[in-house]
Amino acid sequence: MQQYIDKYDFTGKKAIVRVDFNVPLNEKFEITDDTRIRAAIPTLKKVLSEGGALVIMSHLGRPKGVDPKFSLKHIINHVSELLGVPVQFAEDCQKADAQAAALKPGEVLLLENLRFYAEEEGKPRGLAENASDEEKAAAKKAVKESQKSFVGKLASYADCYINDAFGTAHRAHASTALIAKYFPDDKMFGYVMENEIKAIDRVVKSPEHPVTVIIGGAKVSSKIGIIENILNLCDNLIIGGGMVYTFVKAMGGKIGNSLCEDDQLDIALDIIKKAREKNVTLFLSKEVVIADAFDNNANTKIVSNMEVPEGWEGVDTAPSSLERWSDVILNSKVVLWNGPVGVFEMPNFAKGTLKVAEMLAEATKKGVFTLVGGGDSVAAVTKMGYADKVSYVSTGGGAMLEYLEGKELPGIAAIRE
Ligand code: AMP
């Protein structure tokens, strides 16, 4: 049965906590962005403040085996600083029995990178490129077999399990999903997970309407899963960015050199049809900013999205379209934004994306619930200084997108079932 971090009694208990400490490091192995570590601190402090002890586990990067470059050693001091207590380190996550057993209330043990072991992800490593199907199947079976003792060992260190790594919740890995079975009555989400789920559920299961979803970015193909699911729950769907031109071409417009996925034209038409059937108002950036080169200093002009001349390409959303969106956004109860609505990496084409961030901030002030998620839109709001002016910024790129697609995430299911 699922437990709740705010109600659970941690006194004298050891909690094994899966966090996402997969932070970027520079060439001197210094942390360049500690957002993910900071995010987990409230959960970790909660356990310590209630007289519990912590066994912390995470992955870092994508090592192919033991590799000092990806050691969690590099972050011990920073974690210790943020927690305000010393952090012990287990050099091998599978040989931490004695250290875990000796932990006293208030003490912290950080395990070495879980992905030093293939068993964490449950995928075989080191297979020859020309391996036969039988060899592949045998290697897969072997790693799945040894995964059981790998998970069992991790579970043996603690009395309860907390999953606070939303960023890996869409993966059925040892530490994110399988381990939960060892704690049938002592498993729970940490605050990061609780907050992410709550925020996304306010969109996905929103009782408050109108719900408006803004989807931008480069490709229809990478967003199709979300768009199809979101059509079932939103009232307004705003499409911006490079995606627009696949729709425009599908509708018979001229797109010049704009981005387009020719294999998605039928899908684009299908989305338009479904939106109509489901009474979702679709906004497709009626007017766009076009440039005569993919260059910040290119010449630009504003045209109808159906009339992009040869030699020109769409690079941003025009002010007239943004104005229409503004009305829709300000009159919504819930707004989700995923993906930039222009080539925001180039300052001259970042105006539309900046304006969307501004509109969300204004809507938030009015009491609209605004959620921003997905790598590039998070980067955009953060870079533009709007991260704390919207209701919630999701940290879990891939996990959030899969949740929005309506998929059940293994990391969430393992705690709930
Ligand atoms: P995604 O990862 O699918 O959210 O796409 C983000 C990328 O889409 C960013 O790198 C943007 O520069 C790019 N993008 C947005 N609008 C356009 C556009 N009109 N033409 C080309 N790329 C775009």
Residue where a domain terminates, one of 189, 205, 228: 189
Confirm whether 4 is domain-assigned.
no
Q: Are 305 and 167 within one domain?
A: no
**Domain total of the chain:** 2
| Nearest one of 186, 193, 194 to 1, comparing CA atoms | 186
| CA separation for the pair 298, 308 (Å, rounded) | 15
| CA separation for the pair 268, 258 (Å, rounded) | 16
Cα Rg of the chain (Å, integer): 24
Confirm whether 413 is domain-assigned.
no
| Nearest one of 69, 151, 62, 171 to 399, comparing CA atoms | 171
Which residue spans within 41-87 are E strands per DSSP? 53-57
Distance 355 CA to ligand 1 centre (A): 16
Residue where a domain terminates, one of 189, 207, 229: 189
Q: Are 173 and 301 within one domain?
A: no
- Average pLDDT on 63-83 reads 97
What does the buried/exposed string (b/e) look like for 235-271 if buried means 16 or more CB atoms within 10 Å of the residue's CB? bbbbbbbbbbbbbbbbeebbbbbbbbbeebbebbeeb
Confirm whether 64 is domain-assigned.
yes
Q: Are 114 and 256 within one domain?
A: no
Structure tokens at 264: 């998605």
Q: Residues 292-350: pLDDT tens digits?
A: 999 999 999 999 999 999 999 999 999 999 999 999 999 999 999 999 999 999 999 99
Confirm whether 409 is domain-assigned.
no
Distance 62 CA to ligand 1 centre (A): 26
For tokens 């059509």, the residue is: 231
Select from 343, 344, 353, 394 the residue to mutate for testing ligand 1; criterion: most ligand atoms less than 8 Å from CB: 343
Asked whether residue 166 carries a pLDDT value surpassing 80, the answer given is yes
Q: Are 125 and 204 within one domain?
A: no
- Phi, then psi, of 126 in degrees rounded to 5: 70, 20
- Contact between 220 and 243 (Cβ < 8 Å): yes
| CA separation for the pair 247, 262 (Å, rounded) | 10
The verdict on whether 202 is a catalytic residue reads: no
pLDDT in the model for residue 375: 67
The rounded percent of the chain whose pLDDT value lies above 90 is 88
Q: Are 100 and 229 within one domain?
A: no
Q: Are 179 and 253 within one domain?
A: no
Confirm whether 224 is domain-assigned.
yes
Contacts within 8 Å (CB) and 24+ apart, 300-306: 300/348, 305/244, 305/245, 305/248, 305/253, 306/248, 306/251, 306/252, 306/253, 306/254
Confirm whether 148 is domain-assigned.
yes
Q: Whose CA is nearest to atom 5 of ligand 1?
A: 217
Q: Are 41 and 87 within one domain?
A: yes
Total residues belonging to the chain: 417
- Identity at 249, one-letter amino acid code: K
Side-chain half-sphere CA neighbours of 300 within 13 A: 18
Pairing label, strands 313-317, 287-291 = antiparallel
**Domain ranges, residue 347:** 197-404
Ligand 1 interacting residues, C-beta cut-off 6 A? 216-219, 222, 241-242, 259, 314-315, 339-340, 342-345, 376
- Identity at 408, one-letter amino acid code: E
Distance 316 CA to ligand 1 centre (A): 9
pLDDT in the model for residue 129: 86
Residue 166, domain CATH: 3.40.50.1260
Q: Are 242 and 346 within one domain?
A: yes
334 forms beta bridges with: 211, 369
The verdict on whether 398 is a catalytic residue reads: yes
- Average pLDDT on 182-193 reads 98
Residue where a domain terminates, one of 189, 219, 252: 189
Asked whether residue 216 carries a pLDDT value surpassing 80, the answer given is yes
Ligand 1 atom index nearest CA of 219: 3
Q: Is the peptide bond before 210 cis (omega within 30 degrees of 0)?
A: yes
- Contact between 253 and 305 (Cβ < 8 Å): yes
Asked whether residue 102 carries a pLDDT value surpassing 70, the answer given is yes
| CA separation for the pair 220, 204 (Å, rounded) | 20
Structure tokens at 215: 């989807």
Confirm whether 333 is domain-assigned.
yes
- Phi, then psi, of 111 in degrees rounded to 5: -85, 145
Q: What are the residues whose beta carbons fall under 8 Å from the beta carbon of 280, sequence distance 6 or more?
A: 231, 234, 235, 236, 237, 274
The rounded percent of the chain whose pLDDT value lies above 70 is 100
Please report the sign of the dihedral spanned by the C-alpha atoms of residue 75, residue 78, residue 81, residue 84: negative
Instruction: Give the largest CA-CA distance in the chain.
Output: 71
Q: Are 348 and 398 within one domain?
A: yes
Q: Residues 253-281: pLDDT tens digits?
A: 999 999 999 999 999 999 999 999 999 99
Q: Are 280 and 380 within one domain?
A: yes
Q: Are 260 and 363 within one domain?
A: yes
Q: Which residue of the set 45, 73, 123, 219 is catalytic?
A: 219
Q: Are 355 and 325 within one domain?
A: yes
Distance 403 CA to ligand 1 centre (A): 22
**Sheet with 287-291, side-by-side order of all strands:** 300-304, 287-291, 313-317
Confirm whether 343 is domain-assigned.
yes
| CA separation for the pair 231, 272 (Å, rounded) | 10
